[in-house]
């Protein structure tokens, strides 16, 4: 479970995230959407311990990220928007290192299975510079899934993937959630969010503008058509003051 209470992140005078609270139970997928500069990536970075929040509390499976960071991070996996891999490690090395970092029993076998699953088995000895953007993305996801995280956070997970790989990735995210992981996805691909997320949070200027399932959000906006899709909701939510 991922729990966020009153998350605030301030850069100098800019409030990038302003009092965000949310909760994702195991087995659920939450979609985090918002316009550019809404604070999505900052929120995800705070949730994964990359940057410290100015205020607020983040817990992963009950472990406070600030007070018990090692325990919390052991149960967490993050796939950033840009796959920044180590130039000097091969794909197999990345997985071997991840297995050791998270103490994955049978790490080798699981690495091989994941490489196979993501179609990287024949590229296991390739360096990141020899992989395409999509392959790097797949490797990042394989690294994230290696230790069967209880909380999986993905920032734009489908960027650079071909349609077949997109479908496989969506299936994999669903399977991971079905296995009990709490998943947060941040994406501009609204069809992805609509398709696989049970709950949606729309962030605007660091604040939670709307939250709930697509049906709940539609109900909260009675002036919208009953079959309004997420794109329509998103546009309404992000236009200045339309919802207030």
Partner 1 sequence: MSPVLIRLLLLSIRGRLVRWLRMLRRPKYLIGFAIGLAYVGFWARSVLSGGKLGNSFFSGRSGRVEGDLAAMVPLFLAFALLVFVSVVWLLPWGRLGVPFREAELMLLLPAPLTRRQILQFGLLKGQAAIVTSSLIISLFAGTGRLPEQARLVVSLWLALTLLDLNKKGRALFLLRQREISRRAALARRLAVVLGIAAFWSLLAVSFYRPAAPTLDAMWQQRADVWDLIVTVVGHAETGMSGALLTPFVWITGLPFASSWREFAIGLPPVAAMVVLGHEAVVRSKASFEEAALQHAGEIAQRKSPSRRFRRLSARLRQENPFRLGPTGRPELAVLWKNLHLSSRRSLGRIFGWTVAGLTGVAVVPAAVNAPALVLGLAALTGGVVAVVLPLILTLSQQNDFRSDLRHLDLVRTWPVVPHRLATAEILAPALVATAAGCLGAGLFLAAMVGAWLRFAFHGDTVTHVFLPPLDATIMGLPIIAGTALIAVGLLPALASGMALLAALRNLAVLAFPAWIGSLPESGRGIQALGQRMLLGTVMILGLTLGLLPGALLVGSAILVQGYFSIPWSAWAFPLWGGLAAAPLVVEVALLARLAGRLWAGMDPSHEILDLGR
Binding mask 69-88 for partner 1 (x = CB under 8 A): xxxxxx-xxx-x-x-xxxxx
Q: Which is nearer to partner 1, 28 or 74 (CB)?
A: 74
CB 107, min distance to partner 1, A: 3
CB 163, min distance to partner 1, A: 26
Residues sharing a CB contact under 8 Å with residue 232, sequence separation 6 or more, in sequence order: 224, 225
φ, ψ at 234 (rounded to 5°)? -60, -45
Size of the site for partner 1 (CB under 8 A): 49
CB 87, min distance to partner 1, A: 4
Binding mask 51-70 for partner 1 (x = CB under 8 A): xx----------------xx
**Which residue in the set 6, 25, 67, 125 belongs to the binding site for partner 1 (CB under 8 A)?**
125
Does the protein bind partner 1 through residue 50 (CB under 8 A)? yes
Reading the block at residue 226, the tokens are: 């009953």
Q: Considering only the stretches 121-129, 157-165, 178-186, 210-218, report the one whose residues sit in contact with partner 1 under the rule CB under 8 A.
A: 121-129
**Which residue in the set 2, 16, 142, 199 belongs to the binding site for partner 1 (CB under 8 A)?**
16
Residues that bind partner 1 (CB under 8 A): 9, 11-12, 14, 16, 42, 45, 48-52, 69-74, 76-78, 80, 82, 84-90, 93, 96-108, 125, 127-130
């Amino acid at each position: 479970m991922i729990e966020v209470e009153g998350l605030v992140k301030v850069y100098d005078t800019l409030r990038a995230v302003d009092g965000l609270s949310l909760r994702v139970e195991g087995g659920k997928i939450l979609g985090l959407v918002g316009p550019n500069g809404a604070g999505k990536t900052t929120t995800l970075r705070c949730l994964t311990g990359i940057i410290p929040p100015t205020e607020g509390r983040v817990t992963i499976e009950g472990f406070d990220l600030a007070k018990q960071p090692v325990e919390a991070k052991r149960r967490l996996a993050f796939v950033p928007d840009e796959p920044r891999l180590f130039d000097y490690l091969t794909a197999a090395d990345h997985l071997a290192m991840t297995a050791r970092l998270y103490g994955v029993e049978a790490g080798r076998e699981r690495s091989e299975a994941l490489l196979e699953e993501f179609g990287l088995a024949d590229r296991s000895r390739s360096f990141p510079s020899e992989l395409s953007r999509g392959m790097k993305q797949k490797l990042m996801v394989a690294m994230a899934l290696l230790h069967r995280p209880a909380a999986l956070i993905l920032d734009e997970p489908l960027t650079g993937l071909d349609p077949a790989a997109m479908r496989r990735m969506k299936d994999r995210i669903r399977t991971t959630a079905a296995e009990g992981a709490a998943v947060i996805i941040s994406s501009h691909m609204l069809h992805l969010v609509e398709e696989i997320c049970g709950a949606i949070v729309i962030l605007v200027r660091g604040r939670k503008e709307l939250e709930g399932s697509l049906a709940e959000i539609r109900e909260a906006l009675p002036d919208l058509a009953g079959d309004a899709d997420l794109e329509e909701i998103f546009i309404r939510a992000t236009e200045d003051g339309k919802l207030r």
